[in-house]
């Protein structure tokens, strides 16, 4: 299997995104480290979708973005070339359902954790403040990007309800806007370029970042046998 990837980097620090596996990513201090992690990321992603594993994985860099952001902390502003083309309704529904599946699975992981205030993570600060340490902090942080992401493409939403419900309501608000399938590129906060395709990718990507952290932390505290793992990490 060829895995086309977008390489976003600041010096050697790397974020590598799988273009055709929306939201799949790796990070590394170098491109080589991030590339070496990608086969396992694709394997878990395909398992998450219930698809057959790939026999072999060939990583292809199809786009590069040099950045001044804190890439090592997953600060990102890249807009893929492929994220700037219109959508068909069939493609949109597939992507929306993937983003909603991701939210549903994130909620299932969170709900399976016995003590949501427990943590095994040390304090650490990044560009957006203190890194969430407990399951509750990770969940609230992940849920509460909902209004922000939709607002970047001029859709009014909120963070009310659980992560699945507020994301679903955001898509409903989007679908009420004429011409949303045109996938227009908008200038959002900090002059960052956004499109509907990017919003969906960012939801799934952001879920995966914090689901991985939440799962690993919970396994350390409670043991893998006590934690649900819908993402197949």
Express each pLDDT in 217-230 by its tens digit.
999 999 999 999 99
Same structural domain for residues 128 and 219? yes
Same structural domain for residues 159 and 50? no
Same structural domain for residues 136 and 71? no
Average pLDDT in the 29-35 region?
96
Q: What are phi and psi of 177, to 5 degrees?
A: -95, 120
pLDDT at residue 127 above 70? Answer: no
Mean pLDDT of the chain: 95
Same structural domain for residues 153 and 55? no
Cα–Cα distance measured from residue 56 to residue 59, given in angstroms and rounded to the nearest whole number: 10
Same structural domain for residues 161 and 56? no
> Within a domain: residue 212?
yes
Same structural domain for residues 87 and 191? yes
Same structural domain for residues 154 and 197? yes
Contact, 207 vs 92, CB < 8 A? no
Q: Which two tokens stand for residue 121?
A: 């993570």
Q: What are phi and psi of 89, to 5 degrees?
A: -65, -35
Task: Give the residue from 25, 59, 75 where a domain finishes.
Answer: 75
> Within a domain: residue 40?
yes
pLDDT attached to residue 128: 58
Around Cβ 87, how many Cβ atoms within 10 Å?
19
Contact, 33 vs 39, CB < 8 A? no
Domain span including residue 121: 82-226
pTM: 0.95
**Confidence category of residue 170, pLDDT binned at 50, 70, 90:** very high
Same structural domain for residues 104 and 182? yes
Same structural domain for residues 151 and 169? yes
Q: Residue 115 to residues 44, 220, 226: CA-CA distances in angstroms?
A: 26, 13, 11
Same structural domain for residues 95 and 151? yes
Cα–Cα distance measured from residue 159 to residue 50, given in angstroms and rounded to the nearest whole number: 29
Q: What are phi and psi of 58, to 5 degrees?
A: -110, 120
Same structural domain for residues 40 and 153? no
> Within a domain: residue 233?
no
Task: Give the residue from 51, 75, 99 where a domain finishes.
Answer: 75
pLDDT attached to residue 194: 98
Same structural domain for residues 122 and 215? yes
pLDDT attached to residue 55: 86
Tell me how many domains the chain contains. 2
> Within a domain: residue 231?
no
**Dihedral, CA of residue 179, residue 4, residue 213 and residue 33, to nearest 10:** -150
Of 38, 37, 33, the C-alpha closest to 14 is 33
Q: What is the tally of helices (H) and strands (E) in the chain?
A: 6, 8
pLDDT attached to residue 25: 98
The CATH number of whichever domain residue 33 belongs to comes to: 3.30.2390
Task: Give the residue from 75, 105, 134 where a domain finishes.
Answer: 75
């Amino acid at each position: 299997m060829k895995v086309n990837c977008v390489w976003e980097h600041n010096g050697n620090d790397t974020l590598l995104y799988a273009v055709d596996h929306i939201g799949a990513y790796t990070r590394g201090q170098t491109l080589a480290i991030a590339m070496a992690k990608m086969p396992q990321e694709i394997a878990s992603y395909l398992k998450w979708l219930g698809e057959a594993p790939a026999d072999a994985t060939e990583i292809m860099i199809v786009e590069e973005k040099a950045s001044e952001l804190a890439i090592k902390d997953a600060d990102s502003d890249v807009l893929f070339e492929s994220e700037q083309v219109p959508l068909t309704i069939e493609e949109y529904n597939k992507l929306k359902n993937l983003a909603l599946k991701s939210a549903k699975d994130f909620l299932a992981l969170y709900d399976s954790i016995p003590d949501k205030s427990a943590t095994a993570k040390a304090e650490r600060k990044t560009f957006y403040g203190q890194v969430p340490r407990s399951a509750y902090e990770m969940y609230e942080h992940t849920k509460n990007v909902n209004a922000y992401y939709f607002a970047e493409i001029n859709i009014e939403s909120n963070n009310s309800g659980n992560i699945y419900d507020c994301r679903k309501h955001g898509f409903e608000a989007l679908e009420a806007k004429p011409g949303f399938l045109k996938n227009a590129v908008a200038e959002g906060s900090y002059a960052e370029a956004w499109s509907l395709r990017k919003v969906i990718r960012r939801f799934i990507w952001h879920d995966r970042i914090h689901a991985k952290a939440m799962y690993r932390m919970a396994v350390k505290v409670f043991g893998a046998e006590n934690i649900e793992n819908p993402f197949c990490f």
